[in-house]
Homo-oligomer: A and B are copies of this chain.
Amino acid sequence: MEVTKTLARFLVNSRYEHLPQDVRHEAARALLNWMGCAIGSTHHETVSCALAAIKPFAGPAQATLLGRRERLDILHAALLNGISSHVLDYDDTHARAVHVSSPVYPALLAYCEWRGLSGRDLIHAFALGVETECRIGLSVFPDHYNAGWHITGTAGVFGAAAASGKLLNLNDQQMTWALGIAATQASGLREMFGSMCKSLHPGGAAQKGLQAALLASKNFTSSDRGIEAPAGFGHVLSTKFDPSVITDGLGERYELPLNMYKPFACGLWMHATIDGCIHMKRVHDLKPADIAKVDIRVGPMALELTGKPKPTTGLEGKFSLYHAAAASFIHGAGGEAQFADEVVRDPELVALRSKVVTHSDTTIGKFQSDITVTLTNGKSLHHKVEHALGTLERPMSDADLEEKFRGLVESVLGAKQAGDVIAKCWAVETLADAGELARVATPTG
């Protein structure tokens, strides 16, 4: 069965007009969310370290580092924007495991900016990149992930190669080679979680995927069976590999509408709790002084992963239901600001989190939380979150995404320019030159 060639043929033959409307709108939503993450993290230490290391070797100023004045060659711009996309772990996630945008959009926007390609080209290539990385990732999931691979790196490089190859107008043979060149560079270990290298995975995937397409465009050859051969990606990097997941129904259904966005700047396990606490604060106009005790029931895994009772840093706060609940009641939010070191150490929050009691409950799902607040006046309030905000059952609205974007970007670009980027993202399909997106994300003045 010809898996790599079949996928390549689909990618080459796809036309913008083939994309359903919901796929195109989801691409615009993903664009807004991705740009927010990348711009919002552009001054993060991880990005600054990488830029300091790379800058003396960068090529011509072809593409923008989002949110900065620096411009780099497109390969290094893809790397750096890929790193910033993921550094807060706030980027989007396909319903089953791959962070879809951070390996793909950085490669595409850099190339579009350099060549002056249109917003439609960008959206079309992105949808194909997502289709490619999700299908390849799912063909080896979960065994591949369980073995220790960070699937956003290993599958992401295929997404970046396929999407870039579409922009480069590769033919069938060249697209097959691009996928093969991606296959032989697929990498990324879960051991790196907690270090800067985690963000290097989508960044490296973006850079290597774009490079794979560029090499293939000059007829740099690879195997025609890079994905499915016995010594190819599927069998070498996984004990279970189902090639039909890659080829079945290509073009008939798309993975992009299964994309999810994070409303809160932490792991998904705490989202339902944050969502529920914010809801109760708003509905009942709760003040910290009103609260005597908070009982939170979550699933056993959520408690295992986020059960840290006394966090001392922002990073530790991201693994503490106690902190997350207290911050939600006091700030009414769960953004990056609520996980700053000083917020985690704020005496008012510390006092409130000591009133939080957690309970492990096997009947509560991953995206659920059951919250009971006992008030100082003796009454009690109850709220059960069946589907946390950001799940497929309760997706973030376009307005929610705008609010998240502003929270990330206004401190970098100011409110006016943040609004300009939002407008360009919603209008992406009308842009004659998608490079406008990058230019409007450059600090002025």
A149 within 8 A of B: yes
Inter-subunit contact B204/A180 (CB<8 Å): no
Inter-subunit contact B236/A148 (CB<8 Å): yes
Q: Which residues of B sit under 8 angstroms from A231, Cβ to Cβ?
A: 148, 189-191
Q: Which of A50, A56, A62, A201 has the largest count of B CB atoms less than 10 A from its CB?
A: A56
A288 within 8 A of B: no
Closest to A45 in B: B219
- Roughly how many angstroms separate A192 CA and B225 CA in the complex, as a whole number? 9
Closest to A83 in B: B220
A60 within 8 A of B: yes
A278 within 8 A of B: no
Q: Which of A380-420 contact B (CB under 8 A)?
A: none
Q: Which residues of B sit under 8 angstroms from A191, Cβ to Cβ?
A: 180, 183-184, 223, 225-226, 229-232, 236
Closest to A227 in B: B191
Q: What are 24 A-B pairs with beta-carbon distances under 8 A?
A: A46-B220, A49-B215, A50-B215, A50-B218, A54-B214, A56-B59, A57-B74, A59-B59, A148-B235, A149-B236, A150-B184, A153-B184, A183-B189, A184-B189, A184-B192, A184-B200, A185-B187, A195-B221, A195-B223, A196-B222, A197-B220, A197-B223, A200-B215, A200-B220
A438 within 8 A of B: no
Q: Which of A206-262 contact B (CB under 8 A)?
A: 211, 214-215, 217-223, 225-226, 229-233, 235-236
A181 within 8 A of B: yes
A188 within 8 A of B: yes
Inter-subunit contact B187/A186 (CB<8 Å): yes
A432 within 8 A of B: no
Inter-subunit contact A197/B214 (CB<8 Å): no
Task: With both chains docked as a complex, state the minimum distance between the C-beta of A331 and any C-beta of chain B, in angstroms.
Answer: 29
Q: Which residues of B sit under 8 angstroms from A149, Cβ to Cβ?
A: 236
Return the 9 tightest CB-CB contacts between A and B, nearest first: A148-B231, A148-B236, A191-B231, A57-B73, A190-B231, A197-B222, A53-B218, A187-B187, A191-B232
How many copies the complex holds: the figure is 2
Task: With both chains docked as a complex, state the minimum distance between the C-beta of A167 and any C-beta of chain B, in angstroms.
Answer: 14
A1 within 8 A of B: no
A147 within 8 A of B: yes
Q: Which residues of B sit under 8 angstroms from A324, Cβ to Cβ?
A: none
Asked if A226 meets B192 with Cβ closer than 8 Å, knowing A49-B219, A197-B221, A215-B49, the reply is yes
Task: With both chains docked as a complex, state the minimum distance between the C-beta of A148 and any C-beta of chain B, in angstroms.
Answer: 4
- Cβ-defined partner of A189 (8 Å) among B57, B75, B221, B232: B232
Task: With both chains docked as a complex, state the minimum distance between the C-beta of A223 and any C-beta of chain B, in angstroms.
Answer: 5
